[in-house]
Structure 1
Amino acid sequence: MNVQFREQTVLVTGAAQGFGRAIALAFAELGANVYACDVLDDSLRETAELAEQAGTPIQVRRVDVTDQVAVQHLVDEAVLDTGRIDVLVNNAGGVLGQVGRPLEEVSAQDWRAIFGVNVDGAFLFAQAAAPHMKRQNSGRIINISSGAGIGVSLTGIQAYASAKAAQIGLTRQLAHELGEWGITVNNVAPGFVRSNPTTERQWQSYGEEGQQRLLNNIALKRLGTPQDIANAVLFFASEQAGWISGQVLSVDGGK
């Protein structure tokens, strides 16, 4: 399967590290005009430097995905520059440094913050991109959730599991709303991957016994990589996935 994205415009959120970085670099390597955003300035610059070194430069911008004005500005910039938006990858998310706590110790502010970056961000970017995709009668929206959204979270963070489940619901709803314009909306649900400082701390916290137990529960007996997640996104964005919408693909090594 020869997948190419030459002259396509691709927006990737949360591209400073981990999944988002791998996704942005993969699209750039396959010829796309990539606009990548995050709030982690130094790491985002590293993503841009890696793309430059590979000979596939990308545009990077500092954008808080919960800021509707900033989101709209990035989408408008991409359309002004290239005339279109072909693919939107809503990868920004995470636990924002929070750790698992008993329900009664979770503040409303912490609850809302996780929903903001994981759900509101996906909604705002889809809302901004959809009119352009409708005008084109084509488009791909791919949301990155988590195994936590279809099961339980290894972190024990209630808001994270709930937000990822909500994002999956948003995926299915938008698939039905936007389908008549040739826009597909799908979801990739990664298993545990050591992809950034947060997941690395989580991995170390399990200790040798806990790490082995986690591996034993994976059919392939190994952890995945950010590239494994990027590969799933590339498939959903490709022409070969043109009649697939509203779906959740678990990329977790088999559970």
Structure 2
Amino acid sequence: MKDLKGKTVWMTGGGGDLATSAAKLFLQEGACVVLTVSSEEKIPLTRERYPEAADCLEVVKGDVRILEEMEAAAKRTVERFGSLDILVTCAGAIRHAPIDEMSMKDWQDIVDINLTGTFCACKAAVPFMKRQGGGRIVNVSSIAGRTGRPGNGVNYAASKAGVDGLTKLLAAQLAPFHINVNGVAPGPMKGSMFQRMTPEQQAASGKNVPLGRIGELEEVAWAIRYLVSEEAAWITGAILDVNGGMYM
């Protein structure tokens, strides 16, 4: 694949495991990256992860649920680096519970972050991409959006199903403007939640995966990288499963 020199990437959920893995990959390939994090306190902590990238990295505070804050982050991206070529919506939250134990707050918070947050980021980025004649959007979804996978809450499943629907319809709407919109739907990954498990829990977590193991963050990051590449220029409206064959 061609490198990303001269490209600018804006990522929501910039303090998370997957965003960190993908951002490091983008920076290695010559892109400039703007990361949106949810609080001011996370800005210095996030910067510390990229000691060699000061000239091509910006970290800004922005609540994905608030359109005005996403618009400010998109504007800052263009002001700092001159363009907004790629958007990756990594911001997400999980709060699983059976429906009879789930509060309205549990429902609303997850839908607001996962679905409304994706909408707000896309809405903020699209005007800039239209003006510059094109762009790439990758929305991070989940296998939970299309399966009855045990252990997932209906709030999370519904929010991720919504992300898939948003992605597909937005792809059709934006195709005339040369903006490709795709999704990545990961299965279980070796993020911070996995690292907090006991060795026994870690071993058990891969047993239901047909390929026999939990996914690496880098494997999902490379899927995102492919979808923003020139080689994927004729792909839009797709949801790429990266899950080791785990469809339930």
Fold-level similarity (TM above 0.5): yes
Selected match of 2:159 from 143, 146, 163: 163
In the alignment, which residue of structure 1 is the partner of 2:119?
123
In the alignment, which residue of structure 1 is the partner of 2:175?
179
CA contact (8 A) 1:11 1:34 kept: yes
Identity %: 33
The alignment status of 1:228 with 2:227, answered yes or no, reads: no
Matches within 5 A, 1:52-71: 52-53=51-52, 57-71=56-70
Q: How large is the Cα RMSD of the aligned pairs? A: 2.0
How many residue pairs were aligned? 246
Pairwise CA distance, 1:20: 1.0
Which 10-residue stretch deviates more, 56-65 or 224-233? 56-65
In the alignment, which residue of structure 1 is the partner of 2:207?
216
The alignment status of 1:243 with 2:247, answered yes or no, reads: no
Output the CA distance in 2 between the equivalents of 1:45 and 1:38.
10
In the alignment, which residue of structure 2 is the partner of 1:188?
184
Output the CA distance in 2 between the equivalents of 1:229 and 1:200.
17
Pairwise CA distance, 1:200: 4.3
Pairwise CA distance, 1:246: 0.4
Pairwise CA distance, 1:199: 4.6
- Structure 1 residues not aligned, in runs of 5+: none
Amino acid at match of 2:3: Q
Query: CA distance change for structure 1 residues 199 and 123 in 2, over 3 Å: closer, same or farther?
Result: farther
The alignment status of 1:11 with 2:2, answered yes or no, reads: no
In the alignment, which residue of structure 2 is the partner of 1:108?
104
Query: CA distance change for structure 1 residues 155 and 60 in 2, over 3 Å: closer, same or farther?
Result: farther
Output the CA distance in 1 between the equivalents of 2:169 and 2:34.
26
Amino acid at match of 1:247: A
Pairwise CA distance, 1:46: 3.5
CA contact (8 A) 1:153 1:160 kept: no
- Structure 2 residues not aligned, in runs of 5+: none
CA contact (8 A) 1:16 1:45 kept: no
SS in 2 for 1:249: strand
SS in 2 for 1:52: coil
The alignment status of 1:133 with 2:106, answered yes or no, reads: no
